[in-house]
Amino acid sequence: MNATEHQGAGGTSKAGWVLLGAALLLAAGSIGYNVYEGSGGSDPAAGADAEGAPSIEALKAAAEASTDNSGPWSDLAFAYFQRGEFTEAAAAYRKAVAIAPDEAVLHSALGEALVLASSRDPLPPEALAAFQQALALDPADPRARYFLAVKKDIDKDHEGAIAAWLDLLADTPPGAPWEADLVRTIEQVGAMNKIDVAPRIARVQQGRSPAMLAQAAPAAPDVRGPSAAEVAAAGAMTPSQQREMAEGMVAQLENRLQENPQNLDGWVMLMRSRMTLGEPAKAKAALDAAIKANPAEAAELRRQAQALGVN
């Protein structure tokens, strides 16, 4: 989305990049989870790194040797995803999807990688198609549901987007790693578009209970997604790993803004990401840099910053 397109939207949403900022942190919080074959995951491959995880080289060799098993390609894709190499992750997920086209989680993982690989379009057509296919296969897929709500907001259907996110929140196990960021997304989009969401969030929260964790449906026998306990524990990633991945994504965004400082929505995304990471001083620095690069848009940038709690 370029500056002209941003201004044409009337500055009412900043949907694509603001919500991609939310997706960035949601991904680190395990909506973007690994999917691999078998109830116990893959055995550590030869060539593991110092921490015991398989190296990219070992994962790539295992994937290239696999023609009828999506698991090794999914393992490779997720390893790339954790490193912030989203174009490579998408390529590997395409291979996994080609082998197992009926697995919803692989389609939604592909869509997420494509979104995060895109430097301009907040929801590329191939990603949108992947999310739609994921939901056609599994209407409960949380990642696809989140991003298709983003599409509603991009299309200025802010109320529809909020309603869809609230539905996703209602189905989210209490304590899931992405829960707080999902709530924050609903709150911030509501604030930006003058929609009172607080009582609606409260109603959804009251209708949820820890018992939901025990009610999660089991994964299909041939593809392993997160169990309820794993979702609550952020899948295979420790909190420090989640944080490291998120910080790497934010750094990439910051670098892109150095190359394209007129991307107003990208600056809003950066501010939101910094606030979500608990870095208000860096969020304020992003606001100052955005205004310096776009002085004519200072008032709008300050308005968006205020909605995000940046001052």
DSSP string across 186-203: HHHHHHHTT---HHHHHH
Residue ranges in the chain modelled with pLDDT below 50: 1-18, 20-22, 24-50, 210-237
pLDDT confidence of residue 291: 94
Residue ranges in the chain assigned as alpha helix (H): 3-8, 15-28, 56-64, 70-82, 86-99, 104-117, 125-137, 142-154, 158-171, 179-192, 198-206, 228-232, 239-259, 264-276, 280-293, 298-308
pLDDT confidence of residue 245: 63
pLDDT confidence of residue 240: 59
List the CATH number of the domain containing 254: 1.25.40.10
Among 94, 153, 88, smallest CA distance to 129 is for 94
Please classify residue 280 by burial: count the beta carbons closer than 10 Å to its beta carbon, then call 0-12 exposed, 13-18 middle and 19+ buried: middle
Residues 78, 89: Cα–Cα separation, whole Å: 7
Domain count, the chain: 1
Domain of 7, in residue numbers: 3-308
pLDDT confidence of residue 27: 45
Q: What is the pTM of this model?
A: 0.61
User: What's the pLDDT tens digit per position in 32-73?
Assistant: 332 222 223 333 333 444 355 678 899 999 999 988 998 899
Structure-token pair, residue 111: 């869509």
| Torsion sign (Cα): 133, 87, 92, 43 | negative
pLDDT confidence of residue 44: 33
Residues 106, 134: Cα–Cα separation, whole Å: 8
Please classify residue 186 by burial: count the beta carbons closer than 10 Å to its beta carbon, then call 0-12 exposed, 13-18 middle and 19+ buried: buried
- For 70-82, b/e burial (b = at least 16 CB within 10 A) is bbbbbbbbbbbbb
